[in-house]
Structure 1
Amino acid sequence: MVNITECLGRTMSDFGFILPDDNTKDNQCFDQAYSQQFGIATFQFNFSSTTNNCEAQTFMNSTHLTYGVPVWFQYNSTYDRVILYNDIIVNYTCPFPRFLNATLDVGLYPITSPDRLTVVRFGTYILTMQLFKYSNFTGPYTVSDLPIQIKVGTPLYIGASIMGPDPQLFSMKIDSCYVTPRSDPNDPIKYNVISDGCPVSWFNSIHFIRDGEGLVAYFSMNAFRIGRYSQVHLHCTFSLCAGICPTSCTGIR
Protein backbone atom coordinates (compact mmCIF):
# COMPACT_ATOMS: atom_id res chain seq x y z
CA MET A 1 0.00 0.00 0.00
CA VAL A 2 1.20 3.51 -0.87
CA ASN A 3 0.06 6.41 1.34
CA ILE A 4 0.03 9.98 0.01
CA THR A 5 -0.97 12.93 2.17
CA GLU A 6 -3.49 15.46 0.93
CA CYS A 7 -0.80 18.14 0.72
CA LEU A 8 1.58 16.00 -1.32
CA GLY A 9 -1.21 14.78 -3.60
CA ARG A 10 -2.38 18.36 -4.26
CA THR A 11 1.19 19.47 -4.98
CA MET A 12 1.77 16.63 -7.44
CA SER A 13 -1.49 17.44 -9.21
CA ASP A 14 -0.51 21.14 -9.40
CA PHE A 15 2.73 20.11 -11.12
CA GLY A 16 0.82 17.90 -13.54
CA PHE A 17 1.55 14.43 -12.18
CA ILE A 18 -1.17 11.77 -12.49
CA LEU A 19 -1.87 9.73 -9.37
CA PRO A 20 -1.97 5.90 -9.66
CA ASP A 21 -5.76 5.56 -9.60
CA ASP A 22 -6.03 7.90 -12.61
CA ASN A 23 -3.44 5.95 -14.60
CA THR A 24 -4.40 2.27 -14.36
CA LYS A 25 -3.06 1.60 -17.84
CA ASP A 26 0.57 1.93 -16.71
CA ASN A 27 -0.14 0.87 -13.12
CA GLN A 28 -1.45 -2.57 -14.05
CA CYS A 29 -0.96 -3.88 -10.48
CA PHE A 30 -3.21 -1.15 -9.03
CA ASP A 31 -6.16 -2.55 -7.10
CA GLN A 32 -8.07 0.23 -5.33
CA ALA A 33 -7.79 3.61 -3.63
CA TYR A 34 -9.35 4.52 -0.30
CA SER A 35 -8.77 6.61 2.81
CA GLN A 36 -8.70 5.16 6.32
CA GLN A 37 -7.28 8.33 7.85
CA PHE A 38 -8.41 11.88 7.24
CA GLY A 39 -6.14 13.66 4.76
CA ILE A 40 -4.30 10.50 3.60
CA ALA A 41 -5.06 8.64 0.37
CA THR A 42 -4.10 4.97 0.33
CA PHE A 43 -3.37 3.24 -2.99
CA GLN A 44 -3.39 -0.56 -2.83
CA PHE A 45 -1.47 -2.75 -5.28
CA ASN A 46 -1.60 -6.50 -5.93
CA PHE A 47 1.62 -8.49 -5.70
CA SER A 48 0.16 -11.76 -6.96
CA SER A 49 1.24 -13.29 -10.25
CA THR A 50 -2.39 -14.32 -10.83
CA THR A 51 -3.38 -10.69 -11.51
CA ASN A 52 -3.87 -10.10 -15.24
CA ASN A 53 -1.09 -8.06 -16.87
CA CYS A 54 0.43 -7.22 -13.46
CA GLU A 55 4.21 -6.74 -13.70
CA ALA A 56 4.93 -7.64 -10.09
CA GLN A 57 8.26 -9.41 -9.70
CA THR A 58 9.56 -11.84 -7.10
CA PHE A 59 13.09 -12.11 -5.78
CA MET A 60 14.51 -14.72 -3.41
CA ASN A 61 17.78 -14.74 -1.50
CA SER A 62 19.02 -16.93 1.33
CA THR A 63 16.78 -15.28 3.93
CA HIS A 64 13.84 -13.47 2.30
CA LEU A 65 11.22 -13.70 -0.43
CA THR A 66 10.55 -10.22 -1.88
CA TYR A 67 7.68 -8.99 -4.04
CA GLY A 68 8.28 -5.86 -6.14
CA VAL A 69 5.93 -3.69 -8.16
CA PRO A 70 6.65 -0.50 -10.18
CA VAL A 71 4.34 2.46 -9.46
CA TRP A 72 4.10 5.16 -12.14
CA PHE A 73 3.57 8.84 -11.38
CA GLN A 74 3.26 10.02 -14.98
CA TYR A 75 3.56 13.65 -16.01
CA ASN A 76 0.42 14.73 -17.86
CA SER A 77 1.80 16.21 -21.08
CA THR A 78 -1.46 16.05 -23.02
CA TYR A 79 -1.81 19.82 -23.44
CA ASP A 80 1.84 20.85 -23.08
CA ARG A 81 4.12 21.67 -25.95
CA VAL A 82 7.08 21.98 -23.61
CA ILE A 83 7.52 19.14 -21.10
CA LEU A 84 9.29 20.33 -17.95
CA TYR A 85 9.27 17.16 -15.84
CA ASN A 86 10.16 13.51 -16.25
CA ASP A 87 7.81 10.68 -15.34
CA ILE A 88 8.54 9.15 -11.96
CA ILE A 89 8.72 5.38 -11.42
CA VAL A 90 8.89 4.23 -7.81
CA ASN A 91 9.75 0.58 -7.23
CA TYR A 92 7.97 -0.60 -4.10
CA THR A 93 9.12 -3.86 -2.52
CA CYS A 94 7.74 -5.97 0.30
CA PRO A 95 10.02 -8.68 1.81
CA PHE A 96 8.81 -11.79 3.65
CA PRO A 97 11.08 -14.14 5.61
CA ARG A 98 11.70 -17.51 3.92
CA PHE A 99 12.11 -19.47 7.12
CA LEU A 100 9.23 -19.71 9.57
CA ASN A 101 9.03 -21.49 12.88
CA ALA A 102 5.94 -23.12 14.29
CA THR A 103 5.22 -25.05 17.44
CA LEU A 104 2.52 -27.66 17.68
CA ASP A 105 1.27 -26.45 21.01
CA VAL A 106 -0.16 -29.82 21.94
CA GLY A 107 0.76 -31.46 25.22
CA LEU A 108 0.97 -35.26 24.90
CA TYR A 109 0.89 -37.56 27.92
CA PRO A 110 2.29 -40.88 26.61
CA ILE A 111 2.53 -43.70 29.16
CA THR A 112 3.39 -47.35 28.76
CA SER A 113 -0.07 -48.61 29.75
CA PRO A 114 -3.36 -46.76 29.09
CA ASP A 115 -2.02 -43.52 27.66
CA ARG A 116 -3.32 -40.00 27.55
CA LEU A 117 -2.73 -37.49 24.80
CA THR A 118 -3.80 -33.97 25.74
CA VAL A 119 -4.28 -31.22 23.18
CA VAL A 120 -3.68 -27.95 24.99
CA ARG A 121 -4.66 -25.61 22.18
CA PHE A 122 -3.89 -24.78 18.56
CA GLY A 123 -1.84 -21.70 17.73
CA THR A 124 -2.56 -20.08 14.39
CA TYR A 125 -0.75 -17.28 12.60
CA ILE A 126 0.59 -17.38 9.07
CA LEU A 127 1.79 -20.96 9.61
CA THR A 128 -0.48 -23.56 11.27
CA MET A 129 0.18 -27.11 12.48
CA GLN A 130 -2.60 -29.51 13.46
CA LEU A 131 -2.93 -33.00 14.87
CA PHE A 132 -5.47 -35.19 13.05
CA LYS A 133 -7.44 -38.26 14.14
CA TYR A 134 -7.35 -40.19 10.88
CA SER A 135 -4.68 -41.32 8.42
CA ASN A 136 -6.22 -39.27 5.60
CA PHE A 137 -5.52 -36.15 7.69
CA THR A 138 -9.11 -35.34 8.54
CA GLY A 139 -10.83 -34.81 11.86
CA PRO A 140 -8.46 -32.40 13.63
CA TYR A 141 -8.35 -32.71 17.41
CA THR A 142 -10.05 -29.88 19.28
CA VAL A 143 -10.52 -28.88 22.88
CA SER A 144 -13.80 -30.80 22.95
CA ASP A 145 -11.81 -34.05 22.52
CA LEU A 146 -9.97 -33.62 25.83
CA PRO A 147 -8.84 -35.73 27.58
CA ILE A 148 -7.34 -37.94 24.87
CA GLN A 149 -5.73 -41.30 25.60
CA ILE A 150 -3.24 -42.92 23.25
CA LYS A 151 -0.62 -45.66 23.54
CA VAL A 152 3.09 -45.37 22.88
CA GLY A 153 3.67 -46.49 19.30
CA THR A 154 0.29 -45.21 18.04
CA PRO A 155 0.63 -43.21 14.78
CA LEU A 156 0.15 -39.44 15.07
CA TYR A 157 -1.01 -37.66 11.91
CA ILE A 158 0.33 -34.10 11.64
CA GLY A 159 -0.40 -31.49 8.98
CA ALA A 160 0.89 -27.97 8.38
CA SER A 161 -0.33 -25.22 6.06
CA ILE A 162 0.79 -21.68 5.31
CA MET A 163 -1.31 -18.74 4.15
CA GLY A 164 0.01 -15.88 2.05
CA PRO A 165 2.64 -17.02 -0.50
CA ASP A 166 1.64 -17.32 -4.14
CA PRO A 167 0.66 -21.00 -4.63
CA GLN A 168 1.68 -20.87 -8.28
CA LEU A 169 5.25 -19.89 -7.47
CA PHE A 170 6.20 -21.40 -4.11
CA SER A 171 6.08 -24.59 -2.07
CA MET A 172 6.75 -25.40 1.57
CA LYS A 173 8.90 -28.18 3.02
CA ILE A 174 9.69 -29.53 6.48
CA ASP A 175 13.25 -28.69 7.50
CA SER A 176 13.43 -30.05 11.05
CA CYS A 177 11.32 -31.23 13.98
CA TYR A 178 12.19 -31.98 17.58
CA VAL A 179 10.33 -32.83 20.77
CA THR A 180 10.64 -31.44 24.29
CA PRO A 181 9.03 -32.45 27.58
CA ARG A 182 7.72 -28.93 28.08
CA SER A 183 6.06 -26.36 25.80
CA ASP A 184 9.16 -24.11 25.76
CA PRO A 185 10.87 -24.53 22.34
CA ASN A 186 14.19 -23.60 24.02
CA ASP A 187 13.97 -26.37 26.60
CA PRO A 188 17.49 -27.84 27.07
CA ILE A 189 16.02 -31.36 26.92
CA LYS A 190 15.13 -32.10 23.31
CA TYR A 191 15.26 -34.95 20.81
CA ASN A 192 15.46 -34.44 17.05
CA VAL A 193 13.10 -36.54 14.95
CA ILE A 194 13.64 -34.73 11.59
CA SER A 195 16.94 -33.07 10.64
CA ASP A 196 17.89 -31.43 7.32
CA GLY A 197 14.53 -32.52 5.91
CA CYS A 198 15.05 -36.22 6.71
CA PRO A 199 14.10 -38.52 9.60
CA VAL A 200 16.93 -39.09 12.09
CA SER A 201 18.47 -42.56 12.12
CA TRP A 202 17.27 -43.59 15.59
CA PHE A 203 13.62 -42.75 14.91
CA ASN A 204 12.34 -44.70 11.90
CA SER A 205 8.59 -44.16 12.29
CA ILE A 206 8.56 -40.84 10.36
CA HIS A 207 6.63 -41.04 7.09
CA PHE A 208 6.28 -38.06 4.75
CA ILE A 209 2.90 -38.08 3.04
CA ARG A 210 3.22 -34.71 1.33
CA ASP A 211 6.23 -32.44 1.55
CA GLY A 212 7.72 -29.80 -0.73
CA GLU A 213 4.84 -29.74 -3.22
CA GLY A 214 2.42 -26.90 -2.58
CA LEU A 215 1.72 -24.97 0.60
CA VAL A 216 0.54 -27.96 2.67
CA ALA A 217 2.71 -30.65 4.31
CA TYR A 218 1.61 -33.94 5.90
CA PHE A 219 3.62 -36.50 7.85
CA SER A 220 3.09 -39.17 10.48
CA MET A 221 5.13 -40.40 13.44
CA ASN A 222 4.59 -42.83 16.30
CA ALA A 223 3.91 -41.49 19.78
CA PHE A 224 6.70 -41.98 22.31
CA ARG A 225 7.54 -40.93 25.83
CA ILE A 226 10.54 -38.93 27.09
CA GLY A 227 11.87 -40.66 30.20
CA ARG A 228 10.05 -39.73 33.39
CA TYR A 229 8.29 -36.73 31.83
CA SER A 230 4.54 -36.90 31.23
CA GLN A 231 4.26 -34.56 28.23
CA VAL A 232 5.75 -34.38 24.74
CA HIS A 233 5.71 -31.17 22.67
CA LEU A 234 6.57 -31.07 18.97
CA HIS A 235 8.34 -28.10 17.35
CA CYS A 236 9.05 -27.84 13.61
CA THR A 237 10.78 -25.48 11.18
CA PHE A 238 9.51 -25.04 7.63
CA SER A 239 10.96 -23.20 4.63
CA LEU A 240 9.68 -21.88 1.31
CA CYS A 241 11.07 -22.92 -2.07
CA ALA A 242 10.65 -21.52 -5.57
CA GLY A 243 8.57 -24.10 -7.42
CA ILE A 244 8.89 -27.67 -6.13
CA CYS A 245 11.28 -28.13 -3.20
CA PRO A 246 14.28 -30.39 -3.96
CA THR A 247 14.44 -33.69 -2.08
CA SER A 248 17.31 -33.80 0.39
CA CYS A 249 16.89 -37.43 1.55
CA THR A 250 18.63 -40.36 -0.12
CA GLY A 251 16.16 -42.87 1.30
CA ILE A 252 12.43 -43.30 0.80
CA ARG A 253 10.37 -40.31 1.83
Structure 2
Amino acid sequence: MQVRVQASSLVDNGFDPMSGHFADRNCTMVRQSNGWIWYEVDTQPGACGNLMKTNRTHVTYVNNIFIYSAQNSSFSAPSRVPISCTYPLEADSTLDAYISPFLVEEGGISGLGSQFTPAMSLYRNPSFSETYPPGPVNIPVGSPLYVGVSVQGRGPRFVVVLEDCFASHSRSPHTPVKYPLIQNKCSVDPRQVQVIENGRSTRARFSALFFLPNGQHRTVFLHCNLTLCDRGKYNCSTVSHNFHFISTKKY
Protein backbone atom coordinates (compact mmCIF):
# COMPACT_ATOMS: atom_id res chain seq x y z
CA MET A 1 0.00 0.00 0.00
CA GLN A 2 1.19 3.51 -0.75
CA VAL A 3 -0.15 6.66 0.85
CA ARG A 4 0.82 9.99 -0.74
CA VAL A 5 0.65 13.27 1.18
CA GLN A 6 1.79 16.68 0.03
CA ALA A 7 4.90 17.55 2.05
CA SER A 8 4.13 21.27 2.26
CA SER A 9 0.70 20.52 3.72
CA LEU A 10 2.25 18.55 6.57
CA VAL A 11 4.90 21.19 7.20
CA ASP A 12 2.34 24.03 7.17
CA ASN A 13 0.35 22.18 9.82
CA GLY A 14 3.39 21.78 12.04
CA PHE A 15 4.23 18.14 11.34
CA ASP A 16 7.53 16.48 10.59
CA PRO A 17 6.79 14.56 7.36
CA MET A 18 9.70 12.15 7.83
CA SER A 19 8.58 11.14 11.33
CA GLY A 20 5.68 9.01 10.19
CA HIS A 21 5.50 5.30 10.98
CA PHE A 22 2.90 2.54 10.97
CA ALA A 23 1.37 0.58 13.88
CA ASP A 24 4.75 -1.08 14.26
CA ARG A 25 6.90 1.94 15.14
CA ASN A 26 9.92 0.26 13.58
CA CYS A 27 8.23 0.42 10.17
CA THR A 28 9.25 3.77 8.78
CA MET A 29 9.06 3.14 5.05
CA VAL A 30 8.94 6.83 4.14
CA ARG A 31 10.33 8.54 1.06
CA GLN A 32 10.08 12.01 -0.45
CA SER A 33 9.72 12.64 -4.19
CA ASN A 34 8.88 15.83 -6.08
CA GLY A 35 7.23 17.51 -3.13
CA TRP A 36 5.26 14.45 -2.03
CA ILE A 37 5.73 12.19 0.98
CA TRP A 38 5.10 8.50 0.35
CA TYR A 39 4.34 6.08 3.17
CA GLU A 40 4.61 2.48 2.01
CA VAL A 41 3.76 -0.88 3.53
CA ASP A 42 3.58 -4.38 2.07
CA THR A 43 0.09 -5.77 1.44
CA GLN A 44 0.61 -8.69 3.79
CA PRO A 45 -1.23 -9.49 7.01
CA GLY A 46 0.94 -8.58 9.99
CA ALA A 47 3.36 -6.45 7.94
CA CYS A 48 4.03 -3.31 10.03
CA GLY A 49 0.93 -4.16 12.07
CA ASN A 50 -1.43 -4.66 9.13
CA LEU A 51 -4.82 -6.21 9.75
CA MET A 52 -6.46 -8.16 6.91
CA LYS A 53 -10.20 -8.52 6.36
CA THR A 54 -11.74 -10.62 3.60
CA ASN A 55 -15.11 -11.50 2.15
CA ARG A 56 -16.01 -13.51 -0.95
CA THR A 57 -15.04 -10.77 -3.39
CA HIS A 58 -12.48 -8.45 -1.75
CA VAL A 59 -9.59 -8.27 0.71
CA THR A 60 -8.93 -5.17 2.79
CA TYR A 61 -5.68 -4.24 4.56
CA VAL A 62 -5.94 -1.80 7.49
CA ASN A 63 -3.24 0.14 9.35
CA ASN A 64 -2.53 3.52 10.94
CA ILE A 65 0.08 6.15 10.15
CA PHE A 66 1.39 8.11 13.14
CA ILE A 67 2.95 11.51 12.44
CA TYR A 68 4.70 13.66 15.06
CA SER A 69 4.81 17.41 15.55
CA ALA A 70 7.88 19.17 14.25
CA GLN A 71 8.02 21.48 17.32
CA ASN A 72 7.88 19.05 20.23
CA SER A 73 11.01 17.14 21.16
CA SER A 74 9.52 15.88 24.41
CA PHE A 75 6.88 13.24 25.03
CA SER A 76 3.66 13.92 23.09
CA ALA A 77 1.02 11.88 21.33
CA PRO A 78 1.37 11.79 17.54
CA SER A 79 -1.47 12.38 15.11
CA ARG A 80 -3.00 9.18 13.89
CA VAL A 81 -4.28 8.68 10.34
CA PRO A 82 -6.23 5.43 9.71
CA ILE A 83 -5.57 3.95 6.28
CA SER A 84 -7.09 1.04 4.41
CA CYS A 85 -6.91 -0.36 0.92
CA THR A 86 -9.32 -2.83 -0.63
CA TYR A 87 -8.38 -5.18 -3.49
CA PRO A 88 -10.78 -7.28 -5.55
CA LEU A 89 -10.36 -11.05 -5.48
CA GLU A 90 -11.61 -11.41 -9.05
CA ALA A 91 -9.63 -10.57 -12.19
CA ASP A 92 -9.41 -11.37 -15.88
CA SER A 93 -6.32 -12.77 -17.49
CA THR A 94 -5.46 -12.97 -21.20
CA LEU A 95 -2.71 -15.14 -22.61
CA ASP A 96 -0.04 -13.07 -24.37
CA ALA A 97 0.47 -15.79 -26.98
CA TYR A 98 -2.26 -16.53 -29.50
CA ILE A 99 -3.06 -20.00 -30.79
CA SER A 100 -3.30 -20.85 -34.48
CA PRO A 101 -4.90 -24.28 -34.95
CA PHE A 102 -3.68 -26.69 -37.59
CA LEU A 103 -4.17 -30.33 -38.42
CA VAL A 104 -1.19 -32.66 -38.49
CA GLU A 105 -0.93 -34.10 -41.99
CA GLU A 106 2.26 -36.16 -41.81
CA GLY A 107 2.20 -39.82 -40.90
CA GLY A 108 -0.90 -41.68 -39.79
CA ILE A 109 -3.27 -43.23 -42.31
CA SER A 110 -3.34 -41.83 -45.82
CA GLY A 111 -4.49 -42.98 -49.20
CA LEU A 112 -5.19 -41.92 -52.75
CA GLY A 113 -8.80 -41.26 -53.70
CA SER A 114 -10.36 -42.11 -57.00
CA GLN A 115 -10.18 -39.68 -59.87
CA PHE A 116 -13.31 -37.63 -60.38
CA THR A 117 -15.61 -38.83 -63.13
CA PRO A 118 -17.11 -36.17 -65.38
CA ALA A 119 -20.30 -36.67 -67.35
CA MET A 120 -20.36 -35.37 -70.92
CA SER A 121 -23.74 -34.97 -72.62
CA LEU A 122 -25.03 -33.91 -76.01
CA TYR A 123 -28.22 -31.85 -75.81
CA ARG A 124 -31.05 -31.51 -78.30
CA ASN A 125 -31.70 -27.79 -77.73
CA PRO A 126 -29.86 -24.58 -76.80
CA SER A 127 -31.56 -24.53 -73.39
CA PHE A 128 -29.57 -27.65 -72.44
CA SER A 129 -32.71 -29.24 -71.03
CA GLU A 130 -32.96 -32.48 -73.02
CA THR A 131 -30.12 -34.85 -73.82
CA TYR A 132 -29.61 -37.38 -76.55
CA PRO A 133 -29.41 -40.97 -75.30
CA PRO A 134 -26.01 -42.75 -75.29
CA GLY A 135 -25.04 -44.40 -78.55
CA PRO A 136 -25.09 -43.23 -82.16
CA VAL A 137 -26.73 -39.88 -82.90
CA ASN A 138 -27.64 -38.79 -86.42
CA ILE A 139 -27.15 -35.04 -86.88
CA PRO A 140 -27.26 -33.12 -90.17
CA VAL A 141 -24.02 -31.47 -91.26
CA GLY A 142 -24.07 -27.77 -90.38
CA SER A 143 -26.27 -28.26 -87.32
CA PRO A 144 -25.28 -26.79 -83.94
CA LEU A 145 -24.06 -29.16 -81.26
CA TYR A 146 -24.90 -28.36 -77.64
CA VAL A 147 -22.40 -29.99 -75.29
CA GLY A 148 -22.32 -29.99 -71.50
CA VAL A 149 -19.76 -31.43 -69.07
CA SER A 150 -20.48 -31.74 -65.36
CA VAL A 151 -18.92 -33.21 -62.22
CA GLN A 152 -20.75 -34.38 -59.10
CA GLY A 153 -19.68 -34.84 -55.50
CA ARG A 154 -16.74 -32.42 -55.27
CA GLY A 155 -18.42 -29.64 -53.30
CA PRO A 156 -19.47 -26.14 -54.36
CA ARG A 157 -15.94 -24.70 -54.08
CA PHE A 158 -14.76 -26.59 -57.14
CA VAL A 159 -15.75 -25.51 -60.61
CA VAL A 160 -15.27 -27.21 -63.97
CA VAL A 161 -12.86 -25.60 -66.40
CA LEU A 162 -12.70 -26.89 -69.97
CA GLU A 163 -9.09 -26.71 -71.02
CA ASP A 164 -9.31 -28.24 -74.50
CA CYS A 165 -12.13 -29.84 -76.48
CA PHE A 166 -11.76 -31.49 -79.88
CA ALA A 167 -13.38 -33.81 -82.34
CA SER A 168 -11.77 -36.98 -83.65
CA HIS A 169 -12.62 -40.18 -85.47
CA SER A 170 -11.29 -42.22 -82.54
CA ARG A 171 -13.13 -43.27 -79.41
CA SER A 172 -9.92 -42.70 -77.42
CA PRO A 173 -9.08 -39.16 -76.29
CA HIS A 174 -5.40 -39.96 -76.75
CA THR A 175 -5.63 -40.10 -80.53
CA PRO A 176 -2.89 -38.12 -82.28
CA VAL A 177 -5.32 -36.76 -84.88
CA LYS A 178 -7.48 -34.05 -83.34
CA TYR A 179 -9.77 -31.35 -84.72
CA PRO A 180 -9.76 -28.64 -82.02
CA LEU A 181 -12.87 -26.80 -80.89
CA ILE A 182 -11.58 -25.23 -77.65
CA GLN A 183 -7.92 -24.59 -76.87
CA ASN A 184 -6.52 -22.98 -73.72
CA LYS A 185 -10.09 -22.48 -72.45
CA CYS A 186 -11.05 -20.38 -75.47
CA SER A 187 -12.90 -21.01 -78.71
CA VAL A 188 -10.59 -21.70 -81.65
CA ASP A 189 -13.05 -19.86 -83.92
CA PRO A 190 -15.83 -17.73 -82.41
CA ARG A 191 -17.82 -18.12 -85.64
CA GLN A 192 -17.83 -21.90 -85.21
CA VAL A 193 -17.61 -22.45 -81.44
CA GLN A 194 -19.21 -20.56 -78.56
CA VAL A 195 -18.09 -21.18 -74.95
CA ILE A 196 -21.25 -20.56 -72.96
CA GLU A 197 -20.17 -21.44 -69.42
CA ASN A 198 -16.71 -22.27 -68.19
CA GLY A 199 -15.07 -21.96 -64.78
CA ARG A 200 -18.21 -20.79 -62.99
CA SER A 201 -19.89 -23.91 -61.58
CA THR A 202 -19.70 -27.69 -61.51
CA ARG A 203 -20.75 -27.78 -65.14
CA ALA A 204 -19.41 -26.25 -68.35
CA ARG A 205 -21.23 -25.76 -71.66
CA PHE A 206 -20.39 -24.88 -75.21
CA SER A 207 -21.97 -25.03 -78.64
CA ALA A 208 -20.27 -25.83 -81.96
CA LEU A 209 -21.36 -26.09 -85.57
CA PHE A 210 -21.07 -29.65 -86.82
CA PHE A 211 -19.14 -30.02 -90.07
CA LEU A 212 -17.20 -32.92 -91.49
CA PRO A 213 -13.77 -32.66 -89.78
CA ASN A 214 -11.81 -33.77 -92.84
CA GLY A 215 -14.46 -33.95 -95.51
CA GLN A 216 -15.08 -37.65 -94.84
CA HIS A 217 -18.38 -39.14 -93.70
CA ARG A 218 -17.01 -40.98 -90.71
CA THR A 219 -18.16 -41.35 -87.13
CA VAL A 220 -17.15 -38.36 -85.04
CA PHE A 221 -16.34 -38.43 -81.31
CA LEU A 222 -16.07 -35.40 -79.02
CA HIS A 223 -13.47 -35.24 -76.24
CA CYS A 224 -12.64 -32.64 -73.60
CA ASN A 225 -9.73 -32.20 -71.27
CA LEU A 226 -10.97 -30.52 -68.10
CA THR A 227 -9.77 -29.58 -64.65
CA LEU A 228 -11.34 -28.73 -61.30
CA CYS A 229 -10.45 -25.32 -59.90
CA ASP A 230 -10.81 -24.35 -56.22
CA ARG A 231 -12.55 -20.98 -56.52
CA GLY A 232 -12.29 -20.45 -52.76
CA LYS A 233 -8.53 -20.13 -53.24
CA TYR A 234 -7.88 -19.21 -56.85
CA ASN A 235 -9.32 -17.07 -59.61
CA CYS A 236 -11.04 -19.64 -61.82
CA SER A 237 -12.33 -17.21 -64.40
CA THR A 238 -11.52 -18.36 -67.90
CA VAL A 239 -10.64 -14.79 -68.84
CA SER A 240 -7.39 -15.26 -66.92
CA HIS A 241 -4.97 -18.02 -67.80
CA ASN A 242 -3.31 -18.15 -64.41
CA PHE A 243 -4.83 -21.31 -62.92
CA HIS A 244 -4.01 -23.81 -60.23
CA PHE A 245 -5.77 -27.17 -60.45
CA ILE A 246 -5.96 -30.30 -58.39
CA SER A 247 -6.66 -33.00 -60.94
CA THR A 248 -6.99 -33.71 -64.62
CA LYS A 249 -9.35 -36.05 -66.42
CA LYS A 250 -9.59 -36.75 -70.13
CA TYR A 251 -12.95 -37.88 -71.35
Question: For this structure pair, what is the TM-score category when the shorter chain's length is used for normalisation?
Answer: 0.3 to 0.5
Higher strand share: 1
Structure with bigger RCO (C-alpha 8 Å, 6+ apart): 1
Question: Normalised by the size of structure 2, how large is the TM-score?
Answer: 0.47
